[in-house]
Amino acid sequence: MPAIEILGLEKTYFVGFWRKRPKCALRPLHLTVEDGEIFGFLGPNGAGKTTTLKLLMGLVFPTSGSARLLGRDWTDPEVKAQIGFLPEQPYFYDHLTANELLNYYAQLSGVPGKERSRRVESTLQRVGLTDVKGVQLRKFSKGMLQRVGIAQAILHDPKLVFFDEPMSGLDPMGRREVRDLMEQLKHEGKTVFFSTHILSDAEALCDRVAIIHQGELRGIGAVADLTSSVHGKVEVIWQGTHVPASMKALGAECHVTGDTVRAVIDENQQDAAIDALRRERLPLIALTPVRTSLEAYFVEKLQRAETTAGSGK
């Protein structure tokens, strides 16, 4: 059973003084996220990531479409007991301490009284806030608030967790801790759906990603598949600083760095390149297909969308 099934969710806002001018925030979106996946939802600012998350959380209402979460209708309030949500740049009741806030959220999530304090304590420990649990949130830094946000999202042991820009406001150590936490959640069998701008995080963490731009899904797939698209090129690396003439004759772009040379050639010339290195007795270090990075894939999808939009005008 998929953890998330988005069935044509669409959102159009009506803007202007008379609310008559339509502004499409999300075009019909169809997306399935399997149980136990870490799924990255990528896109530039204003792409529709947060709108999608708000639709799934029931914070805004769709113009059309529906969704199923954990096999149940997404409007069913009881399904929310199994869901955790971290909004973008979260803000909390700053008159409460971290401990009180988590207790409050645990009460709202229906965590039984006997279990509540143990759960709050262990969650505070998990996000590294035990030492400041008695401090009012108005005294917390942005990074600490982000940790509180993560804590409240996982507090009730949900099966499905939504994070909207979870790395936002965190220092490199904090980012790493959140990455580790997401991996732990995956190992615990939970499904993690997160939106981010930080492609390296997505590349390192996600099983699959989707790219959204201008409210429209532009690409979706396993990270391994998206980053292994070979464009008919191979990378040859050998030891030394000498570039044989026969290698140049193949049309290779060669770059000397220290005592290694890196060349990119057409895939069908790799045998000729190996022969050239053998003839010159240059030790081959590596011969690997050129992989598209997630960033390159992302940029390409966005550029293609811009070009399509431009030619359409």
Partner 1 sequence: MKARIAHIASNTFREAVRDRVLYNLIAFAVLLSGAAILVGQISIEIEKLVVINLGLTAVSLFGIVIAIFIGIGLVSKEIEKRTLYTVLSRPVRRWEFIVGKFCGLAGTLVVNTFFMAIGVFAALFYVSHKFVRADALVLVALYFIVLEFLIICSLALLFSSFSSPLLSAVFAFSLFVIGSFAEDLRGFAGMAHGFTRWLVTGAAYLVPNFSALNVISSIAHEQPVAAQLIWHNTLYALFYATMALSGAVLIFEHRNLK
Q: List contacts with partner 1 (CB under 8 A).
A: 13, 54, 57-61, 77-78, 80-81, 83, 85, 87, 89-93, 95-96, 104-105, 107-110, 149, 152, 156
Nearest approach in angstroms of CB 15 to partner 1 is 11
Rg (CA), the chain: 25
Nearest approach in angstroms of CB 176 to partner 1 is 24
What is the residue type of 283? Answer: P
Q: Give φ, ψ of 141 to 5 degrees.
A: -80, 170
Nearest approach in angstroms of CB 60 to partner 1 is 4
Q: Give φ, ψ of 246 to 5 degrees.
A: -65, -30
Closer CB to partner 1, 4 or 211, in the complex:
4
Nearest approach in angstroms of CB 75 to partner 1 is 11
Closer CB to partner 1, 161 or 223, in the complex:
161
Q: How far apart are CA 122 and CA 102, in angstroms?
A: 11
Closer CB to partner 1, 78 or 131, in the complex:
78
Nearest approach in angstroms of CB 92 to partner 1 is 6
Nearest approach in angstroms of CB 112 to partner 1 is 11
Closer CB to partner 1, 29 or 153, in the complex:
153
How buried is 65 (Cβ within 10 angstroms: 0-12 exposed, 13-18 middle, 19+ buried)? middle
Q: How far apart are CA 141 and CA 230, in angstroms?
A: 44
- Beta strands 284-289 and 233-239: pairing type? antiparallel
Nearest approach in angstroms of CB 217 to partner 1 is 22
Closer CB to partner 1, 150 or 302, in the complex:
150
Q: How far apart are CA 120 and CA 96, in angstroms?
A: 14
The sign of the dihedral angle between the CA atoms of 176, 178, 181, 185 is negative
Closer CB to partner 1, 135 or 296, in the complex:
135
Q: How far apart are CA 24 and CA 63, in angstroms?
A: 10
Residues across the chain:
313
Closer CB to partner 1, 52 or 269, in the complex:
52
User: 181 near 151, Cβ under 8 Å?
Assistant: no
How many CB atoms within 10 Å of residue 249?
11
